[in-house]
């Protein structure tokens, strides 16, 4: 009897986990052409006067998902991101490691995941951000994320800001 209950419980747990996984939106697309998508993000950034924020990671990465949820659950963080950046999630997984793209970005995976790369509106790499510096305690710090978004915004690195 105990064995039957254990088997049923295991089956139900697996079914629930599978259903949740199927219903959860995927941030990263292993089938995407990251090189082409980044080029499109750069064009969009140029048209909108923004930078490109690349979030590199994968759907397997709990910290990647938590970061995205943190930003999108805060109006302050979401507004700071959306007003300054065109955002693109670059996949890194066993299905697609995007080796050429990661090489062109200076191998940011050396910092772990998620890792962030800021490109200017011409596609030049301005900064690579180790996400460990955005953490505090057992999670991401809203204050540190906001500072990161603000410090690398187009306005903050515009020389006109400093020639007054």
DSSP 125: E
**Distant-in-sequence, close-in-space partners of 61: CB < 8 Å, separation ≥ 6:** 113, 114
Both tokens of 76, joined, read: 């302050």
pLDDT of residue 62: 96
Report pLDDT digits (tens) over 117-141.
999 999 999 999 999 999 999 999 9
* Domain 28-157 CATH class label: alpha beta
Task: Kindly report the average pLDDT of the chain as a whole number.
Answer: 90
Report pLDDT digits (tens) over 50-93.
999 999 999 999 999 999 999 999 999 999 999 999 999 999 99
Domain ranges, ordered by start, for the chain? 28-157
b/e map 53-88, b = 16+ CB within 10 Å? bbbbbbbebebbbebbebbeeeeebeebbeebbbbb
pLDDT of residue 152: 98
**pLDDT band of 32, cuts 50, 70, 90:** very high
Cis before 129 (ω within 30): no
């Amino acid at each position: 009897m105990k064995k039957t209950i254990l088997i049923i419980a295991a089956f139900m747990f697996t079914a629930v986990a599978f259903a949740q996984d199927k219903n959860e939106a995927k941030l990263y697309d292993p089938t995407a052409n990251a090189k082409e998508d980044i080029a499109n993000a750069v064009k969009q950034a140029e048209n909108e006067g923004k930078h490109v924020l690349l979030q590199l990671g994968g759907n397997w990465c709990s910290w990647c998902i938590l970061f995205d949820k943190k930003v999108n659950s805060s109006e302050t963080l979401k507004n700071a991101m959306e007003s300054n950046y065109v955002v693109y999630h670059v996949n890194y997984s066993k299905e697609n490691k995007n080796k050429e793209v990661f090489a062109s970005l200076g191998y940011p995976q050396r910092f772990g995941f998620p890792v962030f790369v800021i490109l200017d509106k011409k596609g030049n790499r301005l900064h690579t951000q180790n996400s460990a510096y955005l953490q505090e305690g057992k999670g991401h710090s809203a204050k540190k994320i906001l500072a990161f978004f603000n410090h690398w915004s187009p306005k903050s690195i515009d020389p006109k800001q400093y020639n007054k």
